Amino acid sequence: MIAIIAVNNLGYIGLNNELPWRSSEDLKHFKRLTEGKVLLVGFNTWEKLPRAVLLSTTRFVELDQRDKYIGSTHRPTYNKFKLPVICIGGKKTYEKYAPIFTELHISRINDNTVGDCGFPDLKDLPASCKVFTYNFEVNEKA
């Protein structure tokens, strides 16, 4: 499973269940990595997803009370998907699925906004997980 996460200079990934910044380049990067894939999201992240992401799918299925898959005709068992599954958060979802991440894509956002949700504890990340980092600037505050 692939994971994508954005974090700012202070180690925050969210504020009020949203990104505390806007970075058009990071959003384009996110789209490139996720387009045509199945997304795994936690409940709070699902509730805050932009309408465009929801409209690009035909349905979602619940994995449990916390997690949702976004996909078209897939069953709620991550290893049954024919397309790559990409975890896009939130914090508890990253931590829960970290042991099966094969790739971790971290966008480092040049921003100093104090958030209320810090970077997840990825202590269970496998040693074989490939980590990619990217640097993006902020266009405006959220």
- 59: containing domain: 2-141
Residue 59, domain CATH: 3.40.430.10
**Which pLDDT score, from 0 to 100, does residue 72 have?**
37
Condensed to tens digits (0 to 9), the pLDDT of residues 11-66 reads 999 999 888 999 999 989 988 888 777 778 877 777 776 644 444 443 343 444 44
Q: Which residue has the higher pLDDT, 46 or 77?
A: 46
pTM over 0.75: yes
Specify the number of domains making up the chain.
1
Mean pLDDT of the chain: 79
Residue range 122-130: mean pLDDT, rounded: 96
Is the distance from CB of 15 to CB of 115 less than 8 angstroms? Answer: yes
